[in-house]
Amino acid sequence: MSAATTGPEVQGTLGEAPPDKKRKKKDDGPITGKSPMQIAWGRLRRDKIAMLCLTVVFFFVLIAVFAGVIANAFNVTTETQFATEFIDVLNGNLPKIGPPLHPFTMEHPFGVAPASGDDNLAYWLYGCRTSLIIAGTSTLFAAVVGIVLGLLAGFLGGVVDKAISFVIDLFLTIPFLLAALVLAPIVNERFALSDNYASIQKFVLICILAFFGWMGLARLIRGEVLSLREREFVQAARVIGMPTRRILVRELLPNLAAPIVISISLMLPSFVAAEAGLAYLGIGVTDGISWGQVILKATDYFDTYPLYLWEPLLGIVALVLSLNLLGDAIRDAMDPKTRR
């Protein structure tokens, strides 16, 4: 039989594998979905400025937690027994050690305070702890109040919504600084002779900051809940007779994670700045250690000993700026539509 009469030839050579054999099977493993928080964290990790700010904030948190350990490692304390060893009485009570007037010494790395001879490093460490404790606790209390009232106002509606909205509007009309100037001295004077006066001052300041800091979050949560309560999953939960508390906690609250985290991240730096500002005005922590109190004392020596002022001031600026930039980055990561 000639070649012209033979059947169709098999394409390809004998040494060539069939096309389906050439395909490589890719083993990508099981396909898993990502939650909105995981997606946001992935975006945040790619933001170099956010990671730098997160590192700075973590640094200050470590300082606040281990302030006593760090102070012991440098052998510094907040109590100076022999101030005359470090203070030049004949030269305006300025320090005898430390820059810019004298050489650097590891005995007091940040120098000492004029007149009193207190170690600046010890006051800087414990001042950081005071600021973060007050700001963090105030933020926690304000967030809890704002979330609870916002959930109730948005979900229940009616008279409850009107009452809570009226309270929010009422508190927003009260100037925070004026209220703090009036309330803090009255309460502090009431407990002026107490043995725990410093702790009472911190508690009063926490209450004042939280008392006037929850309204923005409550209004935000209320608006979100007004939208979420009309969704199918909430309507289905109502139809099957799910209790209101469970709907709020199990159904609505997880869907409010993004606005809550964003609000808290922006609320914290404002409370850090407010604590230092109130202490500078003499109505915050006046009996304990605070960056604001150090700044108040340092203003009298700025011309002759500027280092005394710059140390706590730079600490506040670095902490507040890092928290603000981190809050903006968290907002952009959780809601890409807000990116500039």
User: Which CA distances in Å does 274 have to 143, 209, 292?
Assistant: 17, 8, 10
Task: List the domains of the chain with CATH numbers.
Answer: 48-76+91-338 (1.10.3720.10)
Predicted confidence at residue 39, as pLDDT, reads 81
For residues 294 and 141, the model is more confident at 141
Which of 90, 105, 109, 140 minimizes the C-alpha distance to 260?
140
CA dist 234 and 14 (Å) reads 65
Whether pLDDT at 19 is above 70: no
User: What does the DSSP assignment read for 52-71?
Assistant: HHHHHHHHHHHHHHTHHHHH
User: Which CA distances in Å does 330 have to 52, 62, 168?
Assistant: 13, 21, 26
Predicted confidence at residue 332, as pLDDT, reads 84
Q: What is the pLDDT of residues 53-70, one digit of tens each?
A: 999 999 999 999 999 999
- Compute the mean pLDDT over every residue in the chain, rounded to the nearest whole number: 82
Q: Where are the alpha helices (DSSP H) in 79-196?
A: 120-156, 158-172, 176-190
Q: What is the pLDDT of residues 197-230, one digit of tens each?
A: 778 888 888 998 999 999 999 999 999 999 888 8
Q: How much is the pTM? A: 0.81
Predicted confidence at residue 152, as pLDDT, reads 93
CA dist 311 and 255 (Å) reads 42
- HSE, CB side, 13 Å, CA atoms: give it for residue 55: 7
